[in-house]
Amino acid sequence: MKRISFLFGVHLHQPVGNFDWVMEEAVFHAYLPFLRTVASHPWFKFSLHISGPLWDYFSEKHKEIFDIVGEMVDRSQVELIGGGYYEPILAVIPRRDAIGQLRMMSDFLEKNFSSRPRGIWLTERIWEPSLPSILHEAGVEYTAVDDYHLKSIGITGDDLLGYYVTEDDAHPVAIFPISEELRYIIPFDAPERTIEYLSSRANEWGGRIAVIADDGEKFGLWPGTYDWVYKDGWLERFLKLLESNLSWINIQTFSEALDSHRSFGRVYLPTTSYFEMNEWTLPAQLAYRFHILTEELKKEGRFEELKPFLKGGHWRNFLSKYPESDRMHKRMTEVSYLLHSLEGELDKKSYEKLRLSLYRSQVNCAYWHGIFGGLYLPHLRDAIFENILVCERQLLLHILGDAPYLLRVKDINADREDEIQLTDGKVSLWFMPQYGGSLFEIDALLSSFCVTDTVTRRREGYHKLVPQTEGSAHDESEHKSIHELVTSKERNLSAYLFYDWYTRYSLLDHIMPPGETVLRFRNCEFAELGDFVNQPYGFEVKRSDKSCEVLLSRDGGIWREGRSYPFCVKKRVKFAPGKPVRFLYTLKNGDIPQDIIFGVEFNFGLLTRDDPSTYILCGRSLRRIKPSELTELSDVLQFRVVVGSKGVELAFKMDEPVNVWSVPIETVSVSESGFERIYQGNAILFHRRFSFAPNEQKGFGFAMEIKQRDRE
């Protein structure tokens, strides 16, 4: 009789900082129904990975999941799989943190279930060749990757029905290939299709292994799956079909397969992830071309034949594709180095508490973007920054000691250019001289809130698909993977496809012609006459015992009719602990008259346009403005931004009246439920009209104070 081993793995994960209502929906539509159903079939063996953020949530809100899982572990129905506790991408965090997170999960599972895992769930199946030595040091014997990883080195067909061994520095680890075909069949096709798949791969000697390991959210949380999997009975039918074929289907856990089967040999995998991820990492135009090419090859029936030669990009490309991702990554890495350098100086309890915050800042979801919102979701980025800043503030207090402030000039983001940090332990200001002399980050440390956490509107490969889905809705009767769904969550999304030609940092200097409008500024369609916004500034730092000044300057030009006319911008930042930060501009014209609008742009991440505790106060009467309002005001001396949920207020006071434009910045991105519009924050432009005579010099100044207030 032909036989085959069948490995069924499930991965449950929600990111740090996700909304409670999302967590609850996942629990009651996917996690509990799935676990209760399979627990009622004790013969069904499977492997289960639950990420640390979910274990933390279950510990607080759903202890019954511990009980259900514990019973299945006790009767050897389920094998618990480890991984980095807070679901980091192991290859791109510091090695000591990767090993620490792996051991943290292993210790947790051993403590709570008397089960120390032998294998791990590899986050997003992101593989780099150095991983085996990291895994080996953490006590890991195996992991699973997509079969595409092996196809990309020429292993195809029946040679994928087993596991392989790889190594780094002579440290071996076993690699199980996950069947992409099964990922798309389960649970989106009839249960009989899985049996047909297994039957077609079974053989007389029974040495083959078919592997499915995928997100548990597809069993009830993804669009249309709850009714299909549970109300329409897909899962029960699937289990009953398996049970009726146990004479030839050998259902095993990963560890059982590892112990009962020999490996298919040695392999060395390239840096890669699952196929869809490799598309998402590409630049927008190339990603779209890659998508079209893939679809064409599928229609021609040549996709599987040519798939080993289709590489796409790899995960680290996200760090160059999205400066916002890179900034979080480099800030996290810097805090990691700082924490571990002070390990011997901190008491053990404090060190472990801060290390936990560091680990929480390494959860992968907000660092990238594909079919899930990821980077585009403000609450997920906010959670990353919150944990970075919780850790950083305590470390800064230790470093500062009795000093009133700290000045650091250092290449933080590894681009061979220095950034500047000014902090008094309550507020941190981060400057990037090489990019417009910008203020790229403002941190309210007492609230652990990054005030400037926004996202630039940029082209995405899928934006060309948006017009095709206008007004469409998902047909709940269709049972498709989220990778196959193309739909929109609202009409007329194409009207919001604006693109920024510069990164939305703060303290950016604009020179525009008179007559520019707030609407053109919102749409990023205004005429920029100057060459200052994204160009390098020189810098000089002056310090004293109680204060510090940063002087940023650029001898640039004003462009008219293809010619540049000299113009100089100097901005002096005066920082003194406990006092408002002063910004003093000196504008010097060249040898011809100029009539211009000069403006200074700030970008604030306000988290939501709908929370009534988040608002703007502006003008003489401090008029209250919603973040979603397109606002144009004249003769403004005071301007305040209030984020009540964070207990933060930014107060601006102008030396002379200015005009103010405040515009919401929204992106069109994609999630598992379709294309959607997401509010990212507000762009604020303080501006005045200036008429310069030849060689004339004028000034422009204001102060900014970051205040603590009660949370609302």
Which sequence positions are flagged as catalytic?
124, 215
In 132-170 the beta strands, taken as DSSP E runs, fall at: 142-146, 164-168
Query: Percent helix, strand, coil in the chain (nearest 5)?
Result: 35, 30, 35
In 576-630 the beta strands, taken as DSSP E runs, fall at: 581-589, 594-604, 614-618, 623-625
DSSP 30: I
Q: Which DSSP string do the residues of 180-243 spell out, in sequence order?
A: HHHHHHTTTS-HHHHHHHHHHH-BTT---EEEEEEEGGGTTTSTTHHIIIIIS-HHHHHHHHHH
Of 58, 8, 6, nearest to 31 (Cα)?
Answer: 58
Block residue for tokens 């030849």: 694
Q: Are 674 and 487 in contact (CB under 8 A)?
A: yes
Of 710, 600, 646, 599, nearest to 443 (Cα)?
Answer: 646
Cα–Cα distance for residue pair 463/467, rounded to 1 Å: 8
Evaluate the CA torsion angle 470, 378, 332, 112 in order and state its sign. Answer: negative
Q: Which residues are CB-neighbours of 688 under 8 A, at least 6 positions away?
A: 597, 598, 599, 656, 658, 659, 700
3-state secondary structure (DSSP) of residue 551: strand
Of 162, 166, 87, 94, nearest to 125 (Cα)?
Answer: 87
Cα–Cα distance for residue pair 505/452, rounded to 1 Å: 7
C-alpha 5 chain-centroid distance: 37
230: amino acid identity, one letter: Y
C-alpha 692 chain-centroid distance: 45
